[in-house]
């Protein structure tokens, strides 16, 4: 009984929290006049839904594909580069570790909009702007890596050391024990951090906008800004576009939540 | 017998070095370089058009003097402090409360927790836009709900009243930061051994006491990471200012990062923008130091 | 194989750059025009960055007040010679505003592609309902204020007036005409007239004749409230005509901005932008040919893209003829912002001053004095 | 405080861990809970402490129904089998935590912690963190956490398993003293026969989620109600050999080739299949008088004080315990004697004892 | 595989956990490591396994210096005191993991896991996760993880501490069999006297990071080199009482009022302060002949088979173990006998034994 009461409360909280999301859908269905109407209509009165027009008219398939390429690339690179470092920083202690941790955190310090200019200059010299999606992946990885390392470090710090020792005795090298014992046991943290990195990179805007000049390689969030002109801002279009953009990801994450988020409680280590 | 070169990377110190270097080298190339470049620019006379050539005149700390003596400097610093402190504190408290709530075992807890990711998926531009509509003074749904529920019958001009504009952005930012906090805290909570709570219960600890003396200290690693990252993220929040108030009215909601952006990209004063960024780095150095110190008291498995 | 011209613009699909590109390609099969969209606020940054790396477009849109900046930094090709040699472009034919925006120190760096300006839209149905004569829209500030006051109806969520005092270039764009009508300008922003203009705006906001959200709303959103019937009048430009005719379910009309006192000077803002050729463009000659082609089609921009022609040409069979007449008249008095290579540093203090006064953080005089001090510093440099 | 369990049941998912437990522990009693690994001892302690939701039944402490009370309202101290030390607190903080929650002042806490630490030999380690302790030291801290308090009820889950013999003997005395001094009620899970027999007033033998038998320690030893209890109480375990009552009904023959005939202390139906039980310590070497049979030495082990002789008797294995060294070679024949009063007889089918009704055998003074 | 430790030292920060350990375990030997809690037993095992960096000294396995070799190159199986089960693997996966790493095929792994599980009584639990197991079941899984392999070296850290007596007896046999079958070298940490004495070929007694004495189990029992070992080996511990050699040099008087005179098995300087040691199991009741003294019954405990009598002798406490019940009342006077050959004598200062040089007393056949 109590569990269902909790469910009810949970739905209430989630509903309240997701209200802005609902507002996005509602706005997507309203015409310009209804958008500014007062009192605002909670349910669109004259819903109209031009998904197809926005989806194809705005080249969304290609934009979404490019976003996916960037997000997958960044996430893969971050996981490959950062997991080991997070592990070492979560295990060892000492002045060197402190210094490293400090350094890593500091690398997160500047907003993309500021680092993009020097990176742009550097990438241009290195000829990377010829492969703009790769350039964006490299830049965004630098942005996400410290974040990922700091988050995963906390998870690795919670993995009991004697489990790794048992693995060493069972015949693993330290490297293998890291892969087969430490990583699975820290998977909650790794997974959540990776999901956050993925989503962040999927929505990356600043680097893509500056480094990708070919519209065919451009990403979805940049495509979104096409609705904002010097004298116009097509809110209806923006909301429709972003509803198309958000919905599938949201559905995927809700479907995968068993593996991604709900696994959190199942995986108690000790 | 010493380990062979190959073995040291599998079993010895070499492994640690290798794993760390992967990240380190990458960050030095792609992370440190732009930061140093920014510091350099803050000491030079630069604008949009001299970005590319390096033979720019050095001006010492003239940019710092210039930025710090501008009439809005003090105000912006104050707003930044309020914005960061309020955002981080509320995100943490609300995120923690939600993590604890969804930690309980009830039908649908997982799905609902997944839905909270929505805020992280939505593009910043859209979030700014949505909150702008919702907090609009005349036709915003928030005012309408406040009126319907008689909580505040008169309209609040959230974004155009200098008294509330900063808080309007802060509210939106708190909304944006909740899932990040909630998810990571959930991970941390799940890793706490249950038997500690049991022992504490038998020792006579009530829920509050258990939270204080078991949950909090055991979450130290997570909390340290979370708070420091939250501070940094909040210091980089840009879309909401661009989407909601443009830092206005008359700088009443302007914060350092937006100001830095305005200088760099609206008035093409790259030196000024870089200078503010460097001043912000100083703040983050403090945060990072606190974080590193906090890790010394962590529980390492 | 066809030569490709890179054309950067802020337009969306179907608008000016795309339409022109299509027409030009049709007329010149040997040329391909590759239009790239750049966000309006990013254009100068992108051009500067492109200048740095050498990947500049052949033609680009540049907003009026930015021409001086880019030209002064050597980013734009001097077109004076080419224009002199060209038969279709006659700088004298442009209205003074657009012409001023295109030239710096006597050299021409840009060719106006069209123009827009501000006027007063009003809801004739509401005028009638409140006993005002829709055929006689307000002519002076006093009449304007009185009408707005009458039209304001809080119970129905209707403001008398909508405009934009946003913390962006739009705020300056809307504010400067009122200053100019009262005897001031961007370089004399704290004249008594300018203070009066700001006090007039203050009164509009203080008495809730216009929404406090005017401070955060752009022109587009302000006009949205007018279209929705939540404002009886709005100060806006011709770009709104297509949307208004679609969304506004009432009898809307356009009038010139009211003047300060009867017979006083008129003023309006000059909007829209120019086409330029960046310094390092790879095909300057071909680019100029296309600019010339586009200039030749000036008479069609009203009907095709909703711009006012920047030069005195006959528009055959204009859409919304009444509105066209008003805007064309307004354009005669439209003044360019600047020109100054440091325009953005002039505009920012003005926006801040307006907002500070409208929110009563300072009084109008002090606010404008502060702005003037900052502007003086920029101009003296 | 009296503890009463009525029809207590506990399910872990589909696994039925406790199957209707009825138990009444009078106030002030020291109860030992024994049983094979996995039989539900820890689960039972945890339900008493309130850490496991009870699937069915009621639990009363001091007469009050506390089935749904949270643990901290039960005033119970428990030593966890897994220790459950707070990793972020020093030894002193671990031990003083419960006192701190009771708002004792700092000096009182320090004093009581000090006393407990002295008892446990932990004085030098008070400032350490659990991760810096050895296994036995951790266990002692876990114990310290329980004994600094003076609760109504003590629950001990194998609290001495990782301690050396000397310390264990010492702690046995200390725990029993503490129990008496506080007039507490204690439930003590142990695998150590000596602990169960010497510390407890009452022993409860559990088996697969049920109580198999309970009673005073020596009663269980002397009159096990079933083959299971007989085998479980006493170490090495009782020798249990299949046999058949011979036609006289006064003796039974061990199964197997040439099984010897053992005289029975009672009359049984001839031909009835039975299990004959003889404790290793009740077997004697070649003694005149009493019952007697032949065996062959199979293996010998000595702990110094005690010698375990493994024998083959009619192809069945038996163990004999002797309180001294023995100098025999493997394969030597041996004549084994026993007192028929020490013979336990169980039904082959139900495994229930057939001799539980008889009086305690007069064992004392047999020196 | 022979294991040789030379001057092994280990520091934890400032704590000196192992202070120069020299130990040679011949191939195929079964060594029991005993010592008080916290003396460094686990640390020693961990250094042999390669889990702790050694601060000084060398470690050789099969003659090869492996001091800096990683654990996996040592072919060592270890049961951790803390179990260290992989929480994300089932019981079967935990046990089969080392085999999987050795690339055995699936059926082999399953077979060997099955066999080990049967030995340990875990068959029904193979699909469970560690968190769903009882304490003893977890310990058995930890053991299963070691015994499925056939390593050169076995390291056991108190592997049976949480098992019931019957299972423990069973496992003792199984472990020793396994050791013999694989001809492995085993180092076995235990607190259980019986385990150490009956399973091991060789017993090492540690104290505070040093080896105090080592030797064959009965040698340690019979000839402890120091008071510490004497007290540590044997349970209940040896009675050790201060006394003074009397003027004859052939007897010693227990300290305290009217302390009795105990005759010594050797001649000592008169007046020398000594410590006299008598094992509880070597004391007898009122027997004619041999040495003898008087005491008063202070306390009696019985485990069923054994009775512990606590006595007061000249205001000092003594324990006597009897292999049967005793029907006496507290306060009764008692006459205690012992064989002078069983008397241990230690120097009061150095606590070293004064009788270690003598031959093993002829204890066998004293029945
Ligand atoms: N990380 C550490 N830091 C400081 N001291 C430690 C650390 N680990 C162990 N010790 C100390 O080293 C000593 C030896 O520990 P070890 O675990 O070897 O003891 P042990 O003989 O196995 O004891 P037990 O029988 O209690 O398990 C102990 O006194 C312990 O407190
Ligand atoms: N979470 C669980 N899920 C399923 N079964 C469980 C769970 N916890 C315990 N069990 C089972 O319940 C039974 C009783 O467990 P309990 O811990 O009470 O045993 P125990 O008597 O304390 O054993 P030990 O002496 O080994 O500690 C065991 O068979 C165990 O496998
Ligand atoms: Mg248990
Ligand atoms: Mg140990």
Chunked in runs of 10, what are the mean pLDDT values of chain C (381 residues)?
87 86 90 88 86 86 89 88 85 86 88 90 90 89 90 87 90 91 88 90 90 88 88 91 87 90 87 89 89 89 87 85 89 85 89 90 90 88 63
Q: From the CA of E17, which ligand is nearest?
A: 1
The number of folded domains in chain A is: 1
* pLDDT confidence of residue C302: 87
Look up the pTM and report it. Answer: 0.88
Which residue lies with its CA nearest to atom 31 of ligand 2?
E133
C-alpha to C-alpha distance for B273 and A264, rounded to whole angstroms: 42
Domain that holds residue A204: 60-264
* pLDDT confidence of residue D212: 94
User: Residue A186 falls within a domain, yes or no?
Assistant: yes
Q: Which residues contact A266 (CB under 8 A, 6 or more apart)?
A: none
Window B:5-34, CB contacts with E under 8 Å: 7, 10-12
State both tokens at D183. 């007039």
Q: What is the pLDDT of residues B253-295, one digit of tens each?
A: 899 989 988 888 888 888 888 899 888 888 888 888 888 888 8
Which residue lies with its CA nearest to atom 2 of ligand 2?
E132
State which ligand 2 atom lies nearest to the alpha carbon of D43: 18
Contact call for D84 and B217, based on CB within 8 A:
no
* pLDDT confidence of residue D365: 34
E86 C-beta closer than 6 A to ligand 1: no
User: Going by beta carbons, is chain C in contact with chain B, meaning 3 or more pairs sit under 8 Å apart?
Assistant: yes
C-alpha to C-alpha distance for E246 and A108, rounded to whole angstroms: 83
User: Residue A17 falls within a domain, yes or no?
Assistant: no
Q: Is the preceding omega at residue B196 within 30 degrees of 0, hence cis?
A: no
To the nearest whole Å, the CA of B301 is away from the closest chain E CA by: 12
User: Residue A41 falls within a domain, yes or no?
Assistant: no
Q: Which residues contact C218 (CB under 8 A, 6 or more apart)?
A: A233, C164, C166, C168, C170
Between D362 and E187, the more confident residue is: E187
Q: Pseudo-torsion of CA B172, B175, B180, B185, nearest 10°?
A: 140
State both tokens at B209. 């006491």
Average pLDDT over residues A173-180: 88
Cβ–Cβ < 8 Å for E30, E172: no
Confidence category of residue B2, pLDDT binned at 50, 70, 90: very low
Q: What is the pLDDT of residues A214-238, one digit of tens each?
A: 888 888 888 888 787 777 777 888 8
**Residue A195: HSE in the Cβ half-sphere, 13 Å Cα cutoff:** 26
Q: How far is CA D92 from CA B199, B220, C248, D61, E64, in A?
A: 16, 21, 77, 30, 44
To the nearest whole Å, the CA of E238 is away from the closest chain A CA by: 37
Contact call for E71 and A168, based on CB within 8 A:
yes
Average pLDDT over residues D37-48: 94
C-alpha to C-alpha distance for B136 and B244, rounded to whole angstroms: 9
State which ligand 1 atom lies nearest to the alpha carbon of E81: 27
| D145, closest residue in chain B (CA to CA) | B203
Does the pLDDT value for residue D59 go beyond 60?
A: yes
User: Residue A155 falls within a domain, yes or no?
Assistant: yes
Of C285, C334, C278, nearest in space to C8 by CA: C278
To the nearest whole Å, the CA of E277 is away from the closest chain A CA by: 42
Confidence category of residue A130, pLDDT binned at 50, 70, 90: confident
User: Residue A11 falls within a domain, yes or no?
Assistant: no
Determine how many CB atoms are found less than 10 A away from the CB of residue B151. Answer: 8
User: Residue A152 falls within a domain, yes or no?
Assistant: yes
* pLDDT confidence of residue A261: 57
Determine how many CB atoms are found less than 10 A away from the CB of residue C295. Answer: 21
To the nearest whole Å, the CA of B194 is away from the closest chain D CA by: 9
* pLDDT confidence of residue B89: 95
D282 C-beta closer than 6 A to ligand 2: no
C-alpha to C-alpha distance for D97 and D88, rounded to whole angstroms: 12
Write out the H or E segment, with its range, that includes residue E30: strand E30-34
Contact call for E70 and B10, based on CB within 8 A:
yes
B36 touches D: beta carbon within 8 Å: no
Does the pLDDT value for residue B162 go beyond 70?
A: yes
Contact call for B1 and E67, based on CB within 8 A:
yes
Of C45, C49, C59, C46, nearest in space to C17 by CA: C59
Cβ–Cβ < 8 Å for B157, B137: yes
Contact call for E84 and A165, based on CB within 8 A:
yes
- Return residues with CB closer than 5 A to ligand 3 (ion): D 42, 81; E 134-135
Which partners does chain B have (≥3 C-beta pairs < 8 Å)?
A, C, D, E
C-alpha to C-alpha distance for C31 and C5, rounded to whole angstroms: 7
Average pLDDT over residues A134-159: 91
Taking one residue from B and the other from E, the number of pairs with CB-CB distance under 8 angstroms is 13
Confidence category of residue D361, pLDDT binned at 50, 70, 90: very low
State both tokens at C354. 């307006």
Confidence category of residue A258, pLDDT binned at 50, 70, 90: low
Q: From the CA of D48, which ligand is nearest?
A: 2
Q: Residue C32 Cα, ligand 2 centroid: separation in angstroms?
A: 78
Of C165, C163, C164, C159, nearest in space to C230 by CA: C159
State both tokens at D7. 């029809």
D12 C-beta closer than 6 A to ligand 2: yes
User: Residue A50 falls within a domain, yes or no?
Assistant: no
Contact call for A110 and B108, based on CB within 8 A:
no
Does the pLDDT value for residue D360 go beyond 50?
A: no
Q: What is the pLDDT of residues C31-59, one digit of tens each?
A: 999 888 888 888 888 888 888 878 889 99
User: Using a CB-CB distance cutoff of 8 angstroms, which residues of chain C are in contact with residue A35?
Assistant: 224, 228
Q: How far is CA C274 from CA C99, C105, C176, in A?
A: 10, 17, 21
User: Using a CB-CB distance cutoff of 8 angstroms, which residues of chain C are in contact with residue A209?
Assistant: 39, 42
User: Using a CB-CB distance cutoff of 8 angstroms, which residues of chain E are in contact with residue D162?
Assistant: 37, 81, 158, 161, 191
User: Residue A64 falls within a domain, yes or no?
Assistant: yes
* pLDDT confidence of residue A262: 53
H-state helical runs in chain C: 16-27, 43-53, 64-72, 80-85, 96-102, 124-129, 141-151, 169-181, 192-206, 219-227, 241-247, 284-296, 301-305, 321-332, 343-358, 364-380
Mutate to test the interface with B, among E69, E130, E132 (most CBs of B within 10 A): E69
Q: C-alpha D222: how far from its chain's center? A: 14
To the nearest whole Å, the CA of A37 is away from the closest chain C CA by: 6
**Residue B213: HSE in the Cβ half-sphere, 13 Å Cα cutoff:** 25
User: Going by beta carbons, is chain E in contact with chain C, meaning 3 or more pairs sit under 8 Å apart?
Assistant: no
User: Using a CB-CB distance cutoff of 8 angstroms, which residues of chain A are in contact with residue B120?
Assistant: 196, 199-200
E41 C-beta closer than 6 A to ligand 1: yes
> Domain holding A217: CATH number?
1.10.3720.10
User: Using a CB-CB distance cutoff of 8 angstroms, which residues of chain A are in contact with residue C155?
Assistant: none
C-alpha to C-alpha distance for E301 and D194, rounded to whole angstroms: 9
Residues in chain D: 367
Contact call for C227 and A32, based on CB within 8 A:
yes
C-alpha to C-alpha distance for E238 and E243, rounded to whole angstroms: 15
User: Going by beta carbons, is chain D in contact with chain B, meaning 3 or more pairs sit under 8 Å apart?
Assistant: yes
User: Using a CB-CB distance cutoff of 8 angstroms, which residues of chain D are in contact with residue E36?
Assistant: 136, 164, 166-167
Window E:234-273, CB contacts with D under 8 Å: 234-237
Does the pLDDT value for residue D286 go beyond 80?
A: no
Does the pLDDT value for residue D359 go beyond 70?
A: no
Q: Residue B187 Cα, ligand 1 centroid: separation in angstroms?
A: 31
| E78, closest residue in chain A (CA to CA) | A169
- At residue A152, the 3 state secondary structure works out as helix
Determine how many CB atoms are found less than 10 A away from the CB of residue C249. Answer: 11
* pLDDT confidence of residue D364: 36
C-alpha to C-alpha distance for B100 and B181, rounded to whole angstroms: 12
C-alpha to C-alpha distance for E24 and E2, rounded to whole angstroms: 7
Q: Which residues of chain E have pLDDT under 70?
A: 257, 287-291, 356-367
User: Using a CB-CB distance cutoff of 8 angstroms, which residues of chain E are in contact with residue B10?
Assistant: 70
* pLDDT confidence of residue E207: 94
Which residue lies with its CA nearest to atom 6 of ligand 1?
D132
Backbone angles phi, psi at D115, to 5 degrees: -65, -45
C-alpha to C-alpha distance for A206 and A212, rounded to whole angstroms: 10
Averaged pLDDT score across all residues of chain D: 88
C-alpha to C-alpha distance for D303 and D310, rounded to whole angstroms: 14
Q: What is the pLDDT of residues C136-186, one digit of tens each?
A: 899 899 998 999 988 998 888 889 899 999 888 899 999 999 999 988 888
* pLDDT confidence of residue B99: 92
Q: What is the pLDDT of residues B36-88, one digit of tens each?
A: 888 888 888 887 777 766 677 888 888 888 888 888 889 999 999 999 999 99
Q: From the CA of D206, which ligand is nearest?
A: 2
Buried b (16+ CB within 10 A) or exposed e, C79-110: beebbeebeebebebbbebbbbbbbbeeebbb
């Amino acid at each position: 009984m109590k569990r269902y009461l909790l469910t009810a409360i949970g739905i209430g909280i989630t509903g309240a929290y997701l209200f802005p999301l609902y507002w996005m859908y509602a706005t997507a269905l309203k015409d310009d006049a209804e958008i500014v109407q007062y009192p605002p209509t909670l349910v669109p009165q004259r819903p109209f839904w031009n998904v197809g027009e926005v989806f194809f008219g705005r080249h969304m398939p290609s934009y979404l594909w490019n976003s996916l390429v960037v997000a997958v690339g960044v996430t893969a690179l971050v996981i490959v580069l950062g997991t080991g470092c997070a592990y070492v920083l979560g295990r060892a202690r000492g002045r060197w570790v402190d210094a490293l941790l400090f350094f890593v955190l500091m690398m997160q310090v500047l907003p993309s909009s500021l680092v993009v200019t020097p990176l742009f200059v550097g990438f241009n010299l290195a000829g990377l702007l010829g492969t703009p999606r790769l350039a964006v992946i490299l830049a965004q990885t630098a942005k996400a890596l410290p974040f990922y390392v700091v988050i995963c470090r906390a998870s690795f710090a919670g993995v009991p050391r004697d489990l790794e020792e048992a693995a060493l005795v069972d015949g693993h090298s330290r490297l293998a024990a890291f892969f087969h014992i430490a990583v699975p046991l820290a998977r909650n943290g790794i997974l959540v951090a990776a999901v956050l990195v993925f989503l962040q990179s999927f929505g990356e805007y600043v680097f893509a906008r500056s480094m990708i000049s070919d519209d065919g390689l451009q990403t979805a969030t940049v495509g979104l800004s096409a609705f904002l002109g010097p004298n116009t801002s097509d809110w209806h279009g923006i909301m429709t576009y972003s509803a198309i953009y958000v919905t599938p990801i949201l559905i995927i994450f809700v479907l995968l939540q068993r593996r991604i988020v709900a696994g959190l409680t199942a995986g108690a280590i000790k | 017998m010493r380990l062979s070169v190959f073995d040291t990377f599998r079993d010895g110190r070499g492994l640690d070095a290798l794993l760390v270097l992967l990240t380190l080298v990458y960050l030095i190339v792609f992370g440190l370089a732009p930061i140093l470049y920014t510091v350099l620019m803050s000491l030079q006379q630069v604008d949009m058009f001299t970005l590319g050539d390096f033979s720019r005149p050095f001006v010492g700390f003239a940019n710092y003097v210039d930025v710090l003596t501008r009439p809005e400097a003090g105000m912006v610093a104050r707003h930044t402090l309020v914005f960061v402190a309020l955002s981080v504190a509320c995100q943490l408290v609300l995120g923690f409360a939600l993590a604890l709530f969804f930690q309980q075992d009830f039908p649908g807890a997982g799905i609902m927790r997944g839905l909270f990711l929505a805020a992280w998926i939505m593009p910043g531009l859209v979030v700014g836009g949505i909150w702008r509509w919702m907090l609009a003074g005349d036709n915003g749904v928030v005012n309408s709900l406040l009126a319907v529920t008689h909580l505040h019958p008169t309209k609040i001009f959230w974004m155009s009243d200098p008294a509330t504009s900063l808080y309007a952005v802060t509210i939106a930012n708190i909304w944006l930061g909740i899932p990040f906090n909630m998810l990571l805290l959930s991970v941390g909570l799940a890793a706490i051994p249950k038997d500690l709570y049991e022992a504490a219960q038998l020792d006579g600890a009530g829920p509050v006491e258990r939270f204080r003396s078991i949950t909090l200290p055991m979450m130290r690693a997570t909390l340290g990471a979370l708070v420091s990252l939250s501070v940094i993220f909040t210091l980089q929040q840009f879309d909401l200012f661009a989407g909601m108030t443009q830092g206005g009215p008359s700088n009443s909601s302007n914060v350092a990062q937006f100001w830095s952006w305005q200088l760099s990209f609206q008035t093409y004063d790259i030196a000024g923008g870089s200078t503010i960024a460097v001043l912000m780095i100083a703040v983050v150095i403090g945060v990072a130091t606190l974080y590193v110190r906090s890790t010394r008291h962590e529980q390492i498995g | 194989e066809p030569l490709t011209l890179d054309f950067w613009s802020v337009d969306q699909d179907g608008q000016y750059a795309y339409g022109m590109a299509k027409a030009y390609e049709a007329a010149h099969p040997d040329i391909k025009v590759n239009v790239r969209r750049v966000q309006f606020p990013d254009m100068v940054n992108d051009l500067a960055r492109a200048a740095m790396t050498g990947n500049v477009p052949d033609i680009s849109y540049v907003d009026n007040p930015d021409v001086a900046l880019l030209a002064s930094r050597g980013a734009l090709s001097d077109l004076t010679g080419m224009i002199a040699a060209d038969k279709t472009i006659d700088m004298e034919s442009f209205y003074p505003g657009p012409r001023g925006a295109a030239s710096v120190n006597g050299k021409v760096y840009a060719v106006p592609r069209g123009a827009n300006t501000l006027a007063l839209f009003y809801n004739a149905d509401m005028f009638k309902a409140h006993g005002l004569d829709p055929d006689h829209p307000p002519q002076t500030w006093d009449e304007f204020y009185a009408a707005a006051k009458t039209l304001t109806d809080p119970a129905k969520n209707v403001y008398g007036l909508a405009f934009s005092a946003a913390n962006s270039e739009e705020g300056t764009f809307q504010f400067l005409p009122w200053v100019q009508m009262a005897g001031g300008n961007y370089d004399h922003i704290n004249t008594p007239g300018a203070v009066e203009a700001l006090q007039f705006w203050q009164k509009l906001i203080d008495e809730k004749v216009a929404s406090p959200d005017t401070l955060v709303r752009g022109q587009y959103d302000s006009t949205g409230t007018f279209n929705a019937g939540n404002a009886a009048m709005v100060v806006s430009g011709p770009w709104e005509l297509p949307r208004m005719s679609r969304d506004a379910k009432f009898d809307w009309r356009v009038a010139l901005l009211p003047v300060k006192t009867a017979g006083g000077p008129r003023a309006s803002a000059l909007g829209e932008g120019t086409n330029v050729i960046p310094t390092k463009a790879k095909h300057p000659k071909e680019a100029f040919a296309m600019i010339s082609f586009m200039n030749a089609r000036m008479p069609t921009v009203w009907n095709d893209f909703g711009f006012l022609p920047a030069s005195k040409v006959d528009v055959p069979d204009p859409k919304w003829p009444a509105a066209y007449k008003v805007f064309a008249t307004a354009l005669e008095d439209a003044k360019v912002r600047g020109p100054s290579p440091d325009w953005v540093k002039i505009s920012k203090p003005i926006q801040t001053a307006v907002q500070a006064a409208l929110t009563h953080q300072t009084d109008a005089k002090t606010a404008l004095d502060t702005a003037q001090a900052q502007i003086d510093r920029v101009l003296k440099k | 405080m009296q503890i009463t369990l009525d029809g207590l049941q506990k399910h872990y998912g589909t696994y039925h861990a406790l199957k209707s437990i009825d138990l009444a522990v009078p106030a002030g009693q020291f109860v030992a809970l024994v049983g094979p690994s996995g039989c539900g001892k820890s689960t039972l302690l945890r339900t008493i402490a309130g850490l496991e939701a009870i699937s069915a039944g009621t639990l009363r402490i001091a007469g009050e129904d506390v089935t749904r009370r949270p643990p901290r309202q039960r005033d119970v101290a428990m030593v966890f089998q897994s220790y459950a030390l707070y990793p972020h607190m020093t030894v002193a903080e671990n031990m003083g935590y419960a006192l701190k929650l009771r708002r004792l002042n700092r000096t009182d806490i320090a004093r009581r912690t000090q006393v407990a630490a002295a008892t446990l030999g932990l004085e030098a380690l008070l400032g350490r963190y659990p991760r810096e302790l050895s296994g036995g030291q951790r266990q002692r801290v876990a114990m310290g956490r329980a004994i600094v308090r003076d609760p109504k009820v003590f629950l001990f889950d194998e609290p001495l398993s990782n301690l050396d013999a000397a310390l264990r003997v010492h702690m046995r005395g200390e725990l029993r003293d503490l129990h008496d001094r506080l007039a507490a009620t204690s439930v003590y899970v142990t695998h150590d026969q000596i602990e169960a027999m010497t510390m407890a007033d009452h022993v409860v033998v559990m088996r697969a989620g049920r109580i198999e038998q309970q009673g005073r320690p020596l009663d269980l030893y002397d009159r096990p109600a079933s083959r299971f209890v007989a085998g479980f109480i006493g170490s090495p375990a009782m020798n249990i050999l299949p046999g058949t009552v011979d036609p006289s009904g006064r003796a039974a023959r061990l199964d197997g080739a040439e099984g010897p005939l053992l005289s029975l202390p009672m009359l049984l139906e001839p031909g009835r299949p039975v299990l004959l039980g003889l404790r290793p310590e009740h077997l004697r070497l070649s003694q005149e008088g009493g019952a007697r049979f032949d065996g062959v030495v199979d293996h010998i082990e000595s702990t110094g004080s005690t010698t375990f002789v493994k024998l083959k008797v009619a192809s069945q294995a038996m163990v004999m315990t002797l309180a001294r060294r023995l100098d025999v070679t493997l394969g030597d024949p041996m004549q084994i004697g026993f007192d028929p009063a020490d013979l336990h007889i169980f039904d082959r089918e139900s495994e229930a004892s057939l001799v539980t009704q008889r009086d305690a055998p007069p064992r004392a003074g047999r020196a």
